[in-house]
Structure 1
Amino acid sequence: MRTELLAELAQQLRVDSVRVADLAGSGHPTSSMSAADIAAVLLSNHLTYDFDRPDHPGNDRLIFSKGHASPLLYSMYLAAGAIDETEFRTYRREGSRLEGHPTPRLPWVDVATGSLGQGLPVGVGMALAGQRLGKAPYRVWVLCGDSEMAEGSIWEAAEHAGYQHLDSLTMIIDVNRLGQRGPTRHGHDLGAYARRLHAFGWHTIEIDGHDIEAIESALEEARSTMGEPTAIIAATKKGRGVAAVEDREGMHGKPLPDAASAIEELGGRRSMRVEVRKPTSALADARPEVGHLNLPRFAVGDEIATRDAYGQALTALGTARGDIVALDGEVGDSTRTEFFSKEHPERYFELYIAEQQLVAAAVGMQACGQIPYASTFAAFLTRAHDFLRMATVSRASISVVGSHAGVSIGQDGPSQMGLEDLAMFRSLHGSTVLQPCDANQTTRLVAAMAELEGVSYLRTLRGKTLVIYGPDEQFPVGGSKVLRHSIDDRMTLVGSGITVHECLVAADLLAAEGITVRVIDMYSVKPADEVTLQAAAADTGCLITVEDHHPQGGLGDAVAEVFSDGRPAPRLVRLGVRDIPGSATPEEQLRAAGIDADSIAAAVKLLTGTAMVR
């Protein structure tokens, strides 16, 4: 499209952003107006996309990291004919696909944005999938705001993109100088951004973001740059084109005070339509073939760490399926993803010590058709909680594995112990939380995760545990295993992971004293096996949960929720890690936390003794 027509299209995008926010009575039109010229040139001359086939593997990826500029994105969709005027006018209304910040309720939106600092890290994952896995020659375009350049996650992404030479990735920074409450850190100093990005290995282009010819030249230069990601750093003005709001503070996040006069000042409404270039039809939707899965098999009585079983199972899964990818945060020798890296190096991604980028890359890759498993220490995943939260908003399906969970890791001390991870992952909407206690159980659950929707989490252990299940045992998600059972059970012990073994030893100790207890392995923490737990409650009247985790939000809370529907509840006793541990052996840690076999047995005897006195 020629320069003069592009200028007209930019004005149309501004007008539509103003009027749709005015119709909704809320929104961010001024943040949209600053980037309208960039959006017009990108949409008309550089974006490759088939709106009729949003799943086409050759489609470019467009991420509005500054998701509050949704009026601009939806105005682009309107100009492209993807939505009509009737739907456009439903912006921010109940039931509308046009939400305040973009989400994949719209088929052309790959990932949800709005929590600033996430678009570029996700874009890195998309670019990695495209360049490393050779799926299709798509480009990744990420529109960032200058305010979010203060986010640490942006710089995790910037460094990794430069290190990986992701030349299919272009970041466009809309430097409009104003944030929510006032000026941004660097204002219109474009060099401040360029110097940092150049140091991370980026090709940088500084332009006037309202100069159509400069924008066209910069986008063309980005497409032709080889060996480096490109950052187009564009100086713009918030509220561009309307004197009452242009480059003025206090105008963020609200409709224009006089939309009608603003639209008139912008030249009135237009109805231009853009024929967006489509990818070549020669690109087919190629899903990797799924072969026979040969999971590792472990003999009952052996001692195997569940992290070792995870690494072996993931490797076997990667052999059977070409869409399995593994990501790690520079602890692959501990998480055991190194097993996968040796067998499938082309599908192994080292993200280094950057947990936000680790999870974001997984989200980006799954949007490109991969099935990612992201692994690091359970404790360090807390850094990425917001990315996990936004993954659920994105309707993303990713598998996350946290190793070295709980006090049972021993001498490394509390900074390395995941004691909040179950609570964190249980709180995510639609998540699945799994905690295996032995090697064969681990392998089955690892395989099951590949078919799960949403965010799924598997907790693995550092130390070896006894193999108690045969290799052909089945472990459906949402199930549990009853390991001790009799009609004389006085109460029920509910364990998960390492505490299953402590519960079994405690049950044997108690049996020697004539006290029989039921033992449940609650390997599926979410969803919980309500039927089995309710039956145990009806039979024994008392459930004792034992968890290598803080009592808040973990196994105990998961069990308690089963009885929160108003029916008569059993007596619930929770054993968990209530203090901040120090350094000690695994055995000493379990004893100090009161979750070893002796402590469990003592709790049962105390409870049964109280019952007998009554």
Structure 2
Amino acid sequence: MKSAELADLGQQLRVDSVRAADAAGSGHPTSSMSAADLMAVLLAHHFRYDFDRPAHPGNDRFVLSKGHASPLLYAAYKAVGAIDDEELLTFRELGSRLEGHPTPRRLPWVETATGSLGQGLPVGVGIALAGKRLERTGYRVWVLCGDSELAEGSVWEAAEHAGHEHLDNLTVIVDVNRLGQRGPTRHGHDLDAYARRFQAFDWHTVEVDGHDVDAVDRAYGEALSTTGQPTAILARTLKGKGVEAVQDREGLHGKPLPDADEAIAELGGPRDLRIEVREPPAARMLHAVRAGHLDLPTWDLGEEIATRDAYGHALTALGTARGDVVALDGEVGDSTRAELFAKEHPDRYFECYIAEQQLVAAAVGLAARGFVPYAATFAAFLTRAYDFVRMASISGAGINLVGSHAGVAIGQDGPSQMGLEDLAMMRAVHGSTVLYPCDAQQTAQLVAAMAGLDGIRYLRTSRGKSPVIYGPDEEFPVGGSKVLRSSDQDRLTVVAAGVTVHEALAAADALARDGIPVRVVDLYSVKPVDRLTLRRAAEETGCLMTVEDHHEEGGLGDAVLDAFLDGRPVPRLVRLGVRTMPGSASPEEQLHTAGIDADGIAAAAKLLVEEAIVR
């Protein structure tokens, strides 16, 4: 296209953005209008994509990080013929594919859900890592950001990671329109302020007038020719460009234009230009490479092995069997044991350093490209990335998260290192799976099972060693549990998971010696929970007691309650968990102080069955 045609295409994208928001009665047309010329030049001259084959391995990838500018994205889809005008005007309607913020659940051309600002570039880094280090098909990743979201720390985690990895297949286009939601942004139109920041992370930068289509065209060409560095194109634009009543004016964010018909006329009226996007180069489709039968490690009964160790060994074995499995870690691989995978499969190991938001975002980006990522760090530190976990669920991303060093059982390091909220936060994620193994054998089986699940999968591992209590042929279906002690005379059921399983078994043995038989259930699948086993235990023993190395709120106890939400009577239920703020102490002292060791469980059980001895 010539310059005049590119400018005309930009006007069409503005008009259609205005029309879509007007039809919906809501949306962000002014944020779309500022970036319209940037989008027009990209689509017409530089983007390589087959919209009939969104999975084509040679396709460039586009991420709209400023997801509220979805009218612009949908206007672009219309311009390339992916949707028609009738569908464009269903924007934000019930059942429409054109949601307020785009998601890959609804549209095959969307790489990741956006809308929580500051996430598009981190996920784009993950996609670019896949392209540069694993697929090597030559596709380029383009990310369109707003200037407001550059206040988010996650953007700079991503910028540093991309610079460190020399991701010259990544270009971020920053729509510097000066205005945020409530007023001016921190740096306004100071492009040099943004350039200095990107340059500090070893990016190539280009400053440009975002409404000069020829200058934008040259900037994109410069990005394509830059090697060894990612490129940031910093484009000075005007919010609401082209309509005097809204252009560069405050107070209009997230609102349809006051007079859409007048605005459309000012923009030159509706158009119906069609763009022939460049075809992607021929490329080989990514396939999972399977080296052979999965040979998981096994251990002898009674052997003392930490579940974090079992995770590292099992993941390494899984990586040998499956070429689509990748591992990520947040600079704690010697603790999470992800380093074992790194030694065997260095080409599929990604060190994300102490940047948990980028850790999860990179996993989402790798998953978008068909890989099966396992991302590990301390359970406590995953709280920093929780918004990325939430958005990954909205994307429908399939990622495996592993939180080690969970609970007070880690000992002397103290509460800053103790994951005591992780079960609650992961259970709350839509469609998630939450697993908490108690021994090495169980851990290995669950690590392998996670690879075949959908959605967000979370595995909780422990720092300290624990005895192997299951044989190598034992099976652990997701949604199941194991009854470890049972009799017809059981007075109550102790439900435990992870480290408390071993404490519960010791308590059951002590209680049996005192003539109090109790049932013990290993609830390794915290979500989905084994409702049938729990209901049977409640009917047969009359009382359930949960024991968890976690805060009482949202963890194992609440998971057990899920088995009784169908209207049936809720059984007598007592929850033992971490009720106070821990300090530094040995693991044994920590469990005892929290009342979740064998002694605490036995004492609580005696009270429940009214067998407490008054001394």
Q: Give the Cα separation in 1 of the matches to 2:119 and 2:377.
A: 19
Aligned-pair CA distance for 1:405: 0.3
> Could you say what secondary structure the match of 1:399 adopts?
strand
Aligned-pair CA distance for 1:290: 5.6
In the alignment, residue 564 of structure 1 is paired with which amino acid?
Answer: L
In structure 2, the residue matched to 1:281 is: 282
In structure 2, the residue matched to 1:12 is: 12
Does the 8 Å contact 1:207/1:234 carry over to 2?
A: yes
The C-alpha deviation readout for 1:9-33, integer Å capped at 9, x for no partner, is: 0000000000110000000000000
Does the 8 Å contact 1:56/1:285 carry over to 2?
A: no
In structure 2, the residue matched to 1:128 is: 129
Alignment of 1:472 with 2:473, yes or no, is: yes
> Could you say what secondary structure the match of 1:245 adopts?
coil
The C-alpha deviation readout for 1:532-577, integer Å capped at 9, x for no partner, is: 0000000001000000000000000000121122101210000000
Alignment of 1:361 with 2:362, yes or no, is: yes
Alignment of 1:29 with 2:29, yes or no, is: yes
Q: Give the Cα separation in 2 of the matches to 1:594 and 1:522.
A: 19
In structure 2, the residue matched to 1:323 is: 324
> Could you say what secondary structure the match of 2:443 adopts?
helix
Q: Give the Cα separation in 2 of the matches to 1:444 and 1:422.
A: 20
In structure 2, the residue matched to 1:85 is: 85
Q: Give the Cα separation in 2 of the matches to 1:225 and 1:60.
A: 17
In the alignment, residue 603 of structure 1 is paired with which amino acid?
Answer: A
| Number of residue pairs aligned between Structure 1 and Structure 2 | 613
The range that moved more, 1-10 or 312-321, is: 1-10
Where in structure 2 are the equivalents of 1:183-582 lying within 5 Å? 183-289=184-290, 291-582=292-583
Deviating runs (4+, > 6 A) in structure 1?
A: 610-613
In structure 1, the residue matched to 2:158 is: 157
In structure 2, the residue matched to 1:592 is: 593
> Could you say what secondary structure the match of 1:549 adopts?
strand
In the alignment, residue 71 of structure 1 is paired with which amino acid?
Answer: P
User: TM-score of the superposition, structure 2-length normalised?
Assistant: 0.99
In structure 2, the residue matched to 1:75 is: 75
Q: Give the Cα separation in 2 of the matches to 1:587 and 1:470.
A: 26
Q: Give the Cα separation in 2 of the matches to 1:237 and 1:220.
A: 23
> Could you say what secondary structure the match of 2:539 adopts?
helix
Does the 8 Å contact 1:57/1:135 carry over to 2?
A: no
Q: Give the Cα separation in 2 of the matches to 1:541 and 1:290.
A: 50
Aligned-pair CA distance for 1:280: 2.4
Q: Give the Cα separation in 1 of the matches to 2:522 and 2:285.
A: 45
In structure 2, the residue matched to 1:100 is: 100
In the alignment, residue 100 of structure 1 is paired with which amino acid?
Answer: G
The C-alpha deviation readout for 1:370-398, integer Å capped at 9, x for no partner, is: 10000000000000000000000000000
Does the 8 Å contact 2:63/2:144 carry over to 1?
A: yes
Q: Give the Cα separation in 1 of the matches to 2:385 and 2:460.
A: 16
> Could you say what secondary structure the match of 1:548 adopts?
strand
Aligned-pair CA distance for 1:286: 3.2
Aligned-pair CA distance for 1:610: 6.6
Does the 8 Å contact 2:483/2:520 carry over to 1?
A: yes
Q: Give the Cα separation in 1 of the matches to 2:465 and 2:181.
A: 52
Aligned-pair CA distance for 1:58: 1.1
In structure 1, the residue matched to 2:63 is: 63
Q: Give the Cα separation in 1 of the matches to 2:399 and 2:285.
A: 24
> Could you say what secondary structure the match of 2:74 adopts?
helix
Aligned-pair CA distance for 1:285: 4.2
Does the 8 Å contact 1:407/1:590 carry over to 2?
A: yes
Aligned-pair CA distance for 1:86: 1.6
Aligned-pair CA distance for 1:133: 1.1
Aligned-pair CA distance for 1:132: 1.1
Please report the RMSD computed on the Cα atoms of aligned residues, expressed in angstroms.
1.1
Q: Give the Cα separation in 2 of the matches to 1:116 and 1:288.
A: 35
In structure 1, the residue matched to 2:140 is: 139
Alignment of 1:46 with 2:46, yes or no, is: yes
In structure 2, the residue matched to 1:109 is: 110
Aligned-pair CA distance for 1:611: 10
Does the 8 Å contact 2:58/2:283 carry over to 1?
A: no
Q: Give the Cα separation in 1 of the matches to 2:226 and 2:136.
A: 20
The C-alpha deviation readout for 1:35-67, integer Å capped at 9, x for no partner, is: 000000001111111111111111111000000
Q: Give the Cα separation in 1 of the matches to 2:68 and 2:291.
A: 40
Gaps of at least 5 residues in structure 2 are none
Does the 8 Å contact 1:398/1:456 carry over to 2?
A: yes
> Could you say what secondary structure the match of 1:507 adopts?
helix
Q: Give the Cα separation in 1 of the matches to 2:351 and 2:613.
A: 58
Does the 8 Å contact 1:423/1:554 carry over to 2?
A: yes
